[in-house]
Amino acid sequence: MIIKALRIGLGQLIVFIDFITRPRKMKRTPEAQAAVEQAAAGLSLFQFHACPFCVKTRRTLHKLNVPVALRDAKNNEQDRQALLEQGGKIQVPCLRIEEDGQSTWLYESKAISAYLHERFLPQ
């Protein structure tokens, strides 16, 4: 009981610190931002709200100004089941990449961050 309360409290503290220290969004021309939004349409992030690694991944998304659908794998049973059945395991963060009718499931915050930087950071 005490451990659960501590975890909840620490989780909320992590979310609060993220909120007050969030980096600025990358600025793009309207045309470039529209291209990013179109490219990101096939992405969705399966995450837990207070998970430190998920917070890190959401910060990267925010900084790169990439709108991605967030899926709550902790509180939404359908999202959790999709992550397990299609992704193969319940591990977050997990980025689902839908391209050409194929789904790729990318785990680990470092790998997701590297993918996002490679795909959405201007050259």
Report helix angle 109-120 to 30-39, nearest 10: 140
Tokens, residue 121: 């950071």
Superfamily of domain 2-120: Glutaredoxin (3.40.30.10)
Stated pTM of the model: 0.89
How far apart are the C-alpha atoms of 73 and 44, rounded to whole Å? Answer: 12
Pairwise pLDDT comparison (5 vs 110), residue with the higher score: 110
Mean pLDDT for 38-42 is 94
Neighbours of 54 (CB within 10 A): 25
- In which element (H, E) is residue 47 found? strand 43-47
- Flag the least confident range among 11-20, 43-52, 97-106: 11-20
pLDDT digits (tens, 9 = 90+) for 70-92: 999 999 999 999 999 999 999 99
Compute φ and ψ for 13, nearest 5 degrees.
-65, -40
